[in-house]
Structure 1
Amino acid sequence: MMPRSKYLISTILVVVIFLSALPEVARYYVINKITQQGFDNVTIEDVDLNLFTGTLQIENVRVEVNNEEKLVIGLMRADYRWQGIFSGGIATELIEIQDTTLAVIEDDDGNFEVVIPIVANEQSPTGGQTQIEPEQTLAVPNLDVDLVRLANIDVNIQLKQFTGRYNIRQFTLTRVSTWHDYPAELTLDSRLNNTEISAKLTAQPLATTPSVQGDIDIKNIQYGDFQKLANIYLPYPIDTLQGMTDVELYLDGIRDKDNNLIFNFNGDLVSKKLHLSSKQLAVNLQNLSSNFDAKLQLLKDTTLVSGTLNSEIEDLTIVDEASDHLLIGFEHLTSTNLTITDELSVSVEQLGFSELSWFNSVVKQEQKQAQTQKSNNQAKVKSSNNLDTLIIDNAQLGNSFNRLTLDKIQLAGLQTSLQLNEQNELSWLQTINQVQARFFPTNQSLQTNQTEEINADTTITPTVEPVKINNKEDSNIEFVYGVSTVSLTSPAHINLIKTLKSQPHKIQLDIKKLALTELTNQLKPKESHFELHTTLNKHASISVEGSGYLTQSPIDLSLNGQIEDMSFVTLSPFIESFAGYQFTRGQFDHKFELQLHQNTIEMSNELQIRKLQVKDIDESKVVSTLPIPMAISVLEDNKGVIDIDIPVKGNLDDANVNVNSILQKSITQAVKKGSIGFLKYALQPYGAVFIAAEYLVDASNQIAFDDMTFTVNSAHLEVTQLDYANKLIAVLTKRDEIDLHLCGVSNKADKAELIIEYQGEQLDAQLAELAKQRAVSLKSYMSEQGITNKRLFLCKAKYQEDGTSGVTISMD
């Protein structure tokens, strides 16, 4: 008995000693292995290994390099079951890690350090890159884990494009198995800087069709944390990025029998107080709320995305920082059923904007006080561009982003100001051109500034060729669009503003109705119909109706319209540069019909002008050769009314022909025709020349009267000449603006009389003197009757073999 007892006791002592020493041996072994990885100070406070209960616990692990802590673990624990070994695998009840701190660091060379350095693109001793061994199959043992639990895991992230601290407050993973089809559950409660991240997921990774589903919530995402990262992908660097977002997401995903991954997402996204600014733009967004339902398919050969989105956006502004102009902004936007298909075509049931603004001046906070202190004595016109509502129904964008169709565009509450310079150019266009020049420089400017941009480390956006559409029917059109109806309802106000000599002038159009149908640029477009009813400065009315093919080139158009009670004084600042005169009084009515076909214009105009008065402006700015003062004088009746018809016709393909030149010529012709109508009766029987049609339009812009014929070799006014002269005097007395040119002429009949007494140069001198005296005699008589010399112009006297024997008379 004694030997057996001693043997048993010895065995027990050996086992006890072994079990007692095992934790220390394990601690020494772990420290030694960690030290071999290049760490110079490794401490483990306690290792508890209980083979009977199946527990391994390590407490207070600290790993240092050069007296700098690289890893701190408060507690690591594993509880396992021995019986799992006899089942052909490892069964573990618990794997737990608590109170752990580590860092993820990227150095200047792009190398990463996570406890131990990980060198990016490691070089071989010969200088080339290290060859990667062929992928080998990883033999994973049969493993069951009842629970994986992480608590208070702190990760310090220091990357070039992102810095922050990620803290896992609680992480649990239950029923993890590599050989049993158990449903695993994952819960996460963590924080990235100020962002709260939580998840609750259920997965069956070993099922015939592996799946995962559950909720993911991300609260208080701070945009500023990702500013450096955003600058990698944005075309222009941003200086400021602020705001926050919350995301609530439900995920449902599977891997099918063909190893395709299919994920379904639905949830809500809320973004608040976004502020983004750069040297080019400043973007502000107060609130974005959206509900989405999306599907992501990761297939073998492609990736497909589809889904539906409903969203609301509040208070968005985009400001051009260079000019302090609001490019666009709105108070509210709703999108209903925005859908993306697998083929990437996009459709939206309705887009609704409210309080839409564009191209308004932005007053910065520091400028407000200074502006309030300025004098208000100067005349000012406020420039504003606003739209109460804009609704777009049933918009569809093709999968190549080159075909857009809209069922309806409805606008209401329009208030817009169109600023014009002295050349009648819109300030809008100047703003757009300036912004476009900054954001989309031409190839020439890119080449010019290429060296400067490279030195400034500025990314140059390459020129992108426009995408050609594939539809054969529209193969010549880069972007095809179609709008079924466009309507603008009252109240709608358009202000046309022009400043001359520091004085603003405004025309206000109040639109009662604007309707347009079938606006499209397809090669086979439908005929558009349009209708416009508006008032100008609350008094004049304008109505236009018509139809045509507005987007084809050349335009095919047919319309008719009417303008009533239009004031010349209101229009004067906008037409003075064309007319050459300032209109100080008067109004007109205008009925017109216009046909444009194959670049040929044909237009009829019926004008009635009332009580018109004009005055000269700076002669250096006069463009028109139209004698407007004379036209008023000879055309208006005793009530101050002018009725004229102006036909306009011509081919716009002619390089020397345009609408302005056609209109100018037509007006001149109408003025002359009206002048002749008056003069023909006022000068009878001395106006017979006006009856001949070929004399109605004179290329020299003059109206010629009948010649005043004198007795041969005489400059004396006889009864016949005096009667004609008195008719001219009556016309000039009644029409103050008419001036006459008097040109004395001698002819071969006069020469036959004078050649008896004079020869050679003396004869020529006598013929010239006779011609001169005839004009002088007529002018002298008219002056004696009260016509001022300023209205009577003498021409150089001349001899014409077959000319008149007397005086030719004309009117400019």
Structure 2
Amino acid sequence: MAEPQQTPPTALYRRRWFRRSLVAFAVLVIVLSLLPVAIRYAAIHVLQDQGIQHVEIADVDLNLFTGEVGLTDVGISGDGLGRATLSRLYVNLAISALFSKRLALQQLELQGLELDVQQTETGVWQVAGISPPTPAQTTASEVEQTPAEPWGIAVDQLKLVGISVHLSMPQLQSDVRIDELRLSQLASWQPQQAAHYEAQLRIDQAPLMLSGTMQPFADTPQFAGKLELTQLPLALAAEFARDAGIENLSGELAISTEFRARILAGMPAVETTSALALTALTLQQGQYRMQAQRLAWRGQVNYLPPADEQDLGLRADGTLMLQRFVLGDEQAGLQLVQLQQLDVDTMVLGEAQQLSIKHIAFDQLELLQKGEQRLLKTAAISVTDVSFDGQQHLAIKDVVLNGLAVHAVLSADGEVELVSQLQASGATQAQDPGSETVAATAQDEVPPFRFELARLHVADDSRLHFKDNSIDPAFEADIKPFSLTIAHVDTAALDQAMEVDLRGVINGQDQITLDASLRPFGDTLDLQAEGKITALDLPPLSPYANQAMGYYLKRGQLNSSLTASIEADQLDANIHVVLQKFAIEEGDPSKHKGFSDRLSMPLDAALSLLRDKHGTIELDIPVQGDISDPQFDVSQVINKALAKATKTAVTGYLALMLQPWGAMLIAADMLSDAGSVSLQPLAFPPGETGLGREQQDYLVKIAALMQQRPEISLNICGVASQQDRQALLALRQQSEQGQASSSDNTPPADEAIDNQQLLDLAMQRARQVKAQLIERGIEAGRLFTCQPDMQNAASNAPLVKLFL
């Protein structure tokens, strides 16, 4: 039997499944080949539908199996002026993670991005010339819709290279370039895993380095790292500064900081350890120009959620340094402040703005300078232990000034020259009346400000120089060395005494000291003080003496001691004055007459009575007054006290020299404050001209006084008296006794002695007194007789009045 014939196998390509698979594969290949093109055109179409005017994508690489996508040479722009270009974008996506709703970027690289970011004049931001879309309106159903489960996101490796952002704002033009930025190990489903980042940027060629770790998805998001910025030009912020009235802002900023930031209950908390420096800083606001070579901070600056409404949340602990600082007023041509260096050590800013500073040092501080003229300069100032409670209490332990030099020059109108120029330039502005009311109301709502200063010390290498051009000739005084110590200042301790200790040497010869204890902050002032002035040369003070008393000081030195007490605003002081070789000369007639009237004699005559045999005058001047009285003027009080003390001293001296006839002098002085100094008059028996023994002894005393005081003169005034008329008439009647009675035409008895006889009698007595004094060695040129008259003759006694 013949074997059955076998059917030959069908060729593989003829099989149906093969043909179908081949077609499917071909279609897949075609689809995969055309997909990048389709994606390219679809992306262009979608972007154009979003309002982007111009879209360019040179090439798209896609691998669905590996999850790789690549774009090259991308360019987009909107209807604005900006655009964006991208050299290359590469994305490697974990496909399997998509099934778990996780977007896991295994690798993301961005290279050569050029991006324009612009803010228009209306405040609208445009990125690549594209304005942001208008937010869509949310419907009620969308609001009530339960949100879908969010996708997770992760980045294994992110790399940005050569990214340039051109930022354009009305107030800022800047270029930011990211040379390289790396981010790794970031995953939202691993919130405790620390992601690492590192960036190298340039802001207008200023290098910026940033590196660190972050945990943005943790329950408490945290960011930590280090930032370094150098040579950032401040001119970038010039337009922002101009809005605040600041012009010509220039300089460079450098920052080096290590930071840690957390989000606590929705509030940021930032801790930094920083070194910040501003160099070559210059700015101008109005007429004021400020320059600083360097301003630097080193230490911690933290921000914490505020503890209360008074707390700003800012905390700081570190040091501050300022070098070569200058503040000038260009309108006045004044240099207001010049400082070589300021160092602030251990400055701590705590809760509620509580501030403490361990030490502040000023090196070569100068205030108010114009050309060679300078108001104040210090070689060094040291301030120790400053504390402020953030509200109403400032306390300082110690302030020491070394090498203080003050040069105060008064102009012809009596104003400090540099200060008046500053005021004229508008530096001191009148406060708006409305603001004064607000300030007063606010003051009523808070406790009074308290200031404490344990000690202020001006070291003895200091100098005070004073020149007064308002008088002629100008007065000039140089106090060197000068030292001052003020201790225990506390505006709230009303019963605590503040101590003052002052020492100085004036013009290299005159010494001045003052020790005082006072309580100045109560309702009334209390003070106890003692002071001394030694060997003060008086002629330079002559213009002031002329203004006060109408006398020029021609010669002399002053030694003086002061004891003063003020209790409840009541001043009680005594000034002990010792004048050596003192000589004066009349100046302003109106003033020296008024002063002499208070003395009851010319001042030069009064002083001549007070000089001892060495030409020295000692005088105690008691000064009293109510300093709270609005009419109280210390210069007028002292002037009046000086006149009274001089008069009292003269009266006491004369009373002593003319004993036992001085009692009458004191009584007369107490009854009268005007006229010349009246000595006890010489009494005569009515109708007689002869001097009795007692009157001659009295003239001996007067002659001795005038010999000891050759500068004084004596006025001798005979007095017409009705008692003399009666005595002369009685003598005439006795001489005519025994004669017949007079006829009816005989005049009355009181007319028998005429007035001229009385005036002649008074003149004879005065001449008799003058003759007696001449015989005792007194020059006739120092003795002046008066022309008698009949005024008050009915009440006058027979006598000769004596006036110095």
1:606 matched to 2:606? The reply is: no
**Residue 30 of structure 1 corresponds to which residue in structure 2?**
43
- Where structure 2 has 5 or more consecutive residues not aligned to the other structure, the ranges are 1-11, 597-601, 731-744
Counterparts of 2:530 and 2:671, CA distance in 1: 28
Change (3 A) 1:175 1:807: same
1:155-176 deviation per Cα after TM superposition (whole angstroms, max 9, x unaligned): 2223233232222222222223
**Residue 222 of structure 2 corresponds to which residue in structure 1?**
211
- Where structure 1 has 5 or more consecutive residues not aligned to the other structure, the ranges are 125-130, 364-381, 448-460
1:699 matched to 2:657? The reply is: no
1:307-336 deviation per Cα after TM superposition (whole angstroms, max 9, x unaligned): 311122222222233323333332222222
Q: 2:195 aligns with which of 157, 178, 184?
A: 184
**Residue 165 of structure 1 corresponds to which residue in structure 2?**
175
- Residues 382-397 of structure 1 mapped to structure 2, 5 A cutoff: 383-397=374-388
1:599-651 deviation per Cα after TM superposition (whole angstroms, max 9, x unaligned): 11122232211001223345578797255433332211232111122222333
Change (3 A) 1:180 1:686: closer
Letter in 1 for 2:586: D
Q: 1:511, CA displacement in angstroms?
A: 4.2
**Residue 665 of structure 1 corresponds to which residue in structure 2?**
640
- Residues 345-744 of structure 1 mapped to structure 2, 5 A cutoff: 345-362=354-371, 383-400=374-391, 402-421=392-411, 426-427=416-417, 430=420, 438=427, 440-443=429-432, 468=443, 475=447, 477=448, 479-500=449-470, 504-511=474-481, 513-573=483-543, 575-619=545-589, 625=595, 627-680=602-655, 689-692=664-667, 695-696=669-670, 698-700=672-674, 702-707=676-681, 738=712
Counterparts of 1:646 and 1:724, CA distance in 2: 31
TM-score by length of 2: 0.82
Change (3 A) 1:140 1:793: farther
Change (3 A) 1:698 1:620: closer
Q: 1:527, CA displacement in angstroms?
A: 2.1
Letter in 1 for 2:577: L
| Contact 1:745/1:772, CA 8 A, preserved across alignment | no
| Contact 1:110/1:120, CA 8 A, preserved across alignment | no
**Residue 121 of structure 2 corresponds to which residue in structure 1?**
108
Letter in 2 for 1:441: A
Rg: which structure is higher? Answer: 2
Letter in 2 for 1:190: L
**Residue 316 of structure 1 corresponds to which residue in structure 2?**
325
| Contact 2:319/2:346, CA 8 A, preserved across alignment | yes
Counterpart of 1:343 in 2: which secondary structure? helix
| Contact 2:109/2:158, CA 8 A, preserved across alignment | yes
Moved more, 269-278 or 694-703: 694-703
Counterparts of 1:770 and 1:633, CA distance in 2: 36
1:629-687 deviation per Cα after TM superposition (whole angstroms, max 9, x unaligned): 33332211232111122222333344554433432233212222332345446667876
Q: 1:462, CA displacement in angstroms?
A: 11
**Residue 252 of structure 1 corresponds to which residue in structure 2?**
260
Counterparts of 2:38 and 2:653, CA distance in 1: 128
Q: 1:154, CA displacement in angstroms?
A: 2.4
Counterparts of 1:155 and 1:772, CA distance in 2: 122
| Contact 1:710/1:717, CA 8 A, preserved across alignment | yes
| Contact 2:74/2:86, CA 8 A, preserved across alignment | yes
1:335 matched to 2:344? The reply is: yes
Q: Percent identity over the alignment?
A: 19
Q: 2:282 aligns with which of 265, 272, 275?
A: 275
Counterparts of 1:5 and 1:197, CA distance in 2: 62
Counterpart of 2:524 in 1: which secondary structure? coil
| Contact 2:375/2:418, CA 8 A, preserved across alignment | no
Q: 1:273, CA displacement in angstroms?
A: 1.7
Letter in 2 for 1:40: Q
Counterparts of 1:278 and 1:790, CA distance in 2: 77
Counterpart of 1:646 in 2: which secondary structure? strand
Counterpart of 2:680 in 1: which secondary structure? coil
- Residues 758-777 of structure 1 mapped to structure 2, 5 A cutoff: none
Counterparts of 1:780 and 1:168, CA distance in 2: 120
Change (3 A) 1:39 1:775: farther
1:737-784 deviation per Cα after TM superposition (whole angstroms, max 9, x unaligned): 656667775444367689999999x99x97599669957995999799
1:242 matched to 2:241? The reply is: no
Counterpart of 1:803 in 2: which secondary structure? coil
Q: 1:54 aligns with which of 48, 62, 67?
A: 67
Q: 1:573, CA displacement in angstroms?
A: 4.8
Letter in 1 for 2:517: S
1:144-192 deviation per Cα after TM superposition (whole angstroms, max 9, x unaligned): 2222222233222232332322222222222232322332122222222
Change (3 A) 1:74 1:140: farther
Q: 1:90, CA displacement in angstroms?
A: 1.9
Change (3 A) 1:657 1:502: closer
Change (3 A) 1:502 1:463: farther
1:799 matched to 2:799? The reply is: no
Counterpart of 1:637 in 2: which secondary structure? coil
1:560-619 deviation per Cα after TM superposition (whole angstroms, max 9, x unaligned): 233222221344455543243332321122122211110111222322110012233455
Letter in 2 for 1:666: A
Change (3 A) 1:32 1:642: same
Counterparts of 1:253 and 1:355, CA distance in 2: 41
Q: 1:463, CA displacement in angstroms?
A: 6.6
Letter in 2 for 1:225: L
Counterparts of 1:46 and 1:776, CA distance in 2: 144
Change (3 A) 1:105 1:502: farther
Q: 1:98, CA displacement in angstroms?
A: 2.6
Counterparts of 1:508 and 1:425, CA distance in 2: 19
Q: 1:59, CA displacement in angstroms?
A: 2.3
Counterparts of 1:134 and 1:619, CA distance in 2: 99
Counterparts of 2:73 and 2:690, CA distance in 1: 135
**Residue 455 of structure 1 corresponds to which residue in structure 2?**
none
Q: 1:203, CA displacement in angstroms?
A: 0.6
Q: 1:21 aligns with which of 34, 38, 41?
A: 34
Change (3 A) 1:241 1:67: closer
Counterparts of 1:772 and 1:158, CA distance in 2: 115
| Contact 2:78/2:130, CA 8 A, preserved across alignment | no
Change (3 A) 1:155 1:732: farther
**Residue 201 of structure 1 corresponds to which residue in structure 2?**
212
Counterpart of 1:358 in 2: which secondary structure? strand
Change (3 A) 1:615 1:109: farther
Change (3 A) 1:170 1:542: same
| Contact 1:94/1:147, CA 8 A, preserved across alignment | yes
Change (3 A) 1:323 1:153: same
Counterparts of 2:475 and 2:467, CA distance in 1: 6
**Residue 285 of structure 1 corresponds to which residue in structure 2?**
292
- Residues 130-141 of structure 1 mapped to structure 2, 5 A cutoff: 140-141=150-151
